Amino acid sequence: MPEIDILILSNGPGEITTWVRPVVKALRQHLGSDSTQVRISVILSPCPNASGKEAAIAQSYPEVDRVQDAEHFWQFLLTGKTAANWDWRKHGVVLFLGGDQFFSVVIGKRLGYRTVIYAEWDARWYRWIDRFGVMKAELIERIPAQYRHKFTVVGDLMAEASKGVRNEGRGVRGRQELIGLLPGSKPAKLTQGVPLGLAIAQHIHDQKPETEFVIPVAPTLDLETLAKCANPQFNSMIERLGGVSAELMTTEARPFLKTNTGLRVELETQFPAYDLLAECSLCLTTVGANTAELGALAVPMIVLLPTQQLDAMRAWDGLPGLLANLPVVGSSMAKIINWLALRRLGLLAWPNIWAKSEVVPELVGNLQPHAVAELALDYLNHPEKLAAMHEQLRHIRGESGAAQKLASIVKEVID
């Protein structure tokens, strides 16, 4: 086999952690770990959901040889030159794992490489792409017959999150009941999500003192920033969202937030925290990629989108996302966009989008902690409801094993 370059195109935090991570592992298993023979590069494209740390996360994967951040993407797309002036081998494959599928066409033609796209729900540019790995067979049915030979059902890359995760359920670590709080990773979401989550936890704990709580901390978030969102000196939203504050405690093996009432909320910094999430009876989460990961793990959840601060949500795709993040006027634009969006809002959580129905509850509006806590308690006090949600989540996604099958397609293209 000649020396090969595999160029992975990706973008957001969800794609980097749940798509790129398992695929690069599978590629090395199929193609070997010798980077002098097979070199894996990751180039990121801009994403409205990006935290700015995606490049560092990708670089931390031992299977990846080099990474370029999203800020240099347009230069590469237009000129073919990376910021570090990378060299490219004669033979290679462009592998799409997030972003705009059209980028694969342009870059593949420029480099003279074969192209492979992983497609969850939609496949484009099939006239010019060499191979597709798709999540479900239904996608292929929408493709003209003369191009279907390019398509292979590989399954669900997101389901790779659940591989190797313990399935013993609650009580694995001697817990009576564990609830996960996932307030997000960006300051705009954390400002509302942290105090709301803490206040909900307090209401639940008042009625079920045996309940324990944990926040899986995103790798792009440091504990000090998280703690500031629970401190009324730095976050005025606390008083509007239940009045429960907390301070960061790092004196023990695992850090935790201690509320002003003495409630302890553990902070899990290991990433990804799939084993811990799999233990949770229920998770309270904001919208985003975390709903996809919880769905892949079949963990019951309640999805929260508080609107007390209308400019908080700026992670829209396309033009709305660009307008909402403009300097100076971005906050005003975000309020207008979100107000318009909330008037005609559809399904928000990824499991609901996939199922085209509300499998997991979505709460949007001027959320009050006690009302959300009562809904959570209704689920906790009726485990058959949690079991039904768990089963529905299990059946929504595609089969696991997608990373290995996608790596096999890449190998076939190389061969």
Q: How many domains does the chain have?
A: 2
Q: Do 217 and 332 fall into the same domain? A: yes
Local mean pLDDT, 10-residue blocks, the chain (415 residues): 93 85 95 96 87 87 96 93 96 96 96 95 92 92 94 86 52 68 87 96 96 90 93 94 94 90 93 86 90 89 80 48 52 58 68 90 91 97 96 81 95 93
In a domain, 233, yes or no: yes
The model carries a pTM of 0.72
The pLDDT value given to residue 5: 97
CATH number of the domain encompassing residue 259: 3.40.50.2000
The pLDDT value given to residue 333: 55
Summarised one tens digit per residue, pLDDT across range 271-322 is 778 889 989 999 999 988 789 889 888 999 999 988 765 544 544 444 445 5
The pLDDT value given to residue 170: 43
In a domain, 170, yes or no: no
Summarised one tens digit per residue, pLDDT across range 149-192 is 999 999 888 777 666 554 444 444 445 799 999 998 888 789 99
Q: Do 147 and 182 fall into the same domain? A: no
The pLDDT value given to residue 225: 93
The pLDDT value given to residue 147: 95
In a domain, 169, yes or no: no
In a domain, 141, yes or no: yes
The pLDDT value given to residue 131: 97
In a domain, 338, yes or no: yes
Q: Do 105 and 198 fall into the same domain? A: no
The pLDDT value given to residue 174: 47
Q: Do 224 and 368 fall into the same domain? A: yes
Q: Do 129 and 212 fall into the same domain? A: no
Q: Do 328 and 357 fall into the same domain? A: yes
* Domain encompassing residue 57: 4-161+400-414
Q: Do 292 and 348 fall into the same domain? A: yes
Q: Do 125 and 185 fall into the same domain? A: no
Q: Do 389 and 410 fall into the same domain? A: no
The pLDDT value given to residue 211: 96
The pLDDT value given to residue 325: 56
The pLDDT value given to residue 20: 94
Q: Do 273 and 154 fall into the same domain? A: no
Angle between helices 383-396 and 289-297 (to 10 degrees): 100
